[in-house]
Amino acid sequence: MVSSESLTILKIGGSVITDKKADDGVVRVNEIRRIAQEISGFKGKLIIVHGAGSFGHPQAKRFSLNEQFNATGSIITHLSVKELCGMVVGILNENGICAVGVHPMCCMLADNGRIKTMFLDHIYCMLEKSIIPVLHGDVVMDNSLGTSVISGDQIVPYLAKQMKAGLLGIGSATAGVLDDKGSTIPVITPKNFENVKKHIRGSENTDVTGGMLGKVQEMLELSDSTYITSHIFDASKPGNIGRFLKGEKIGTVITHEQYECRS
Ligand SMILES: Nc1ncnc2c1ncn2[C@@H]1O[C@H](COP(=O)(O)OP(=O)(O)OP(=O)(O)O)[C@@H](O)[C@H]1O
Ligand SMILES: [Mg+2]
């Protein structure tokens, strides 16, 4: 696999590593093992952000965390995603990948549901020493709301902007962003977004942070303010994470107006 000094950020969706239809945490250990094997040859600087799936979304919904502050519910939700992160990190290490969990609750502050500040110095040090930081969607303290649910889909562009990532991938369980016929939309830019938006919805499962529409909006905003391009692709298809890490263009590209579509 190609070694790269530029930073790669990979989000692995909760719909890939958990059974998202479940009411309470059901992990897909074999999927995490497969993903670990696909990542194991990568030599560049890599940050992993994983989604919550059935560890987090059902709990956040049960305690209405998007509507009201609830200390107990916030902690229960945080502990659930932390448990999933522990399993992901454990399997990565079993497969020879030096990885450590970085829980947003412990190093991030939000304001009105958006990330306000995050301590990043330790993440830079980890990358220098070839340790892969593994972050995840989490409940974090919020200046205005008490706590807020911060999606992995918000963490990825925040890190990409702050740390100037070169390669950005959002792995979920569909072949990118799909149109009404189920075909992958190759490129989304601010120009065609209004037109394709009618095909993009939330999640068919419990998801308190906007599902596919939330992802596309976060990535469009990023490309608008930084010109950083991202790829939404099917991480449940064996081989795709490896292909993404090699720089192959798969799934849907989210980018700015100047991007030229080359097949
Ligand atoms: N146009 C679309 N193309 C693809 N998926 C879509 C579309 N519109 C809605 N969706 C839904 O969005 C889901 C993906 O978003 P979701 O947030 O559930 O996934 P995830 O990121 O893998 O999970 P998590 O948020 O737990 O990390 C798809 O599984 C599908 O149900
Ligand atoms: Mg989601």
What are the start-end ranges of the H helices in 185-210? 190-196
Confidence (pLDDT) at 260: 53
Confidence (pLDDT) at 259: 62
Residue 20 CA to residue 26 CA, distance in Å, equals: 8
- pLDDT mean across residues, the chain: 94
pLDDT digits (tens, 9 = 90+) for 125-161: 999 999 999 999 999 999 999 999 999 999 999 999 9
Structural domains of the chain sorted by starting position, each given as residue range(s) with its CATH number in brackets? 7-254 (3.40.1160.10)
Q: Which residue among 27, 174, 180 is best mutated to probe the pocket of ligand 1, counting the most ligand atoms within 8 A of its Cβ?
A: 174
Q: Which ligand is nearest the CA of 198, by number?
A: 1
Q: How many CA atoms lie within 13 A of 66 on its CB side?
A: 13
Could you tell me the pLDDT band of residue 257, with boundaries at 50, 70 and 90? Answer: confident
Residue 81 CA to residue 157 CA, distance in Å, equals: 20
84 closest CA partner among 141, 24, 36: 24
Residue 146 CA to residue 140 CA, distance in Å, equals: 9
Whether 89 lines ligand 1, by a CB cut-off of 6 Å, is no
* Per-state percent for the chain, helix, strand, coil, to nearest 5: 40, 20, 40
pLDDT digits (tens, 9 = 90+) for 152-199: 999 999 999 999 999 999 999 999 999 999 999 999 999 999 999 999
Angle between helices 71-94 and 29-39 (to 10 degrees): 50
193 Cα–ligand 1 center, Å: 17
Contact 78, 138 (CB under 8 A): yes
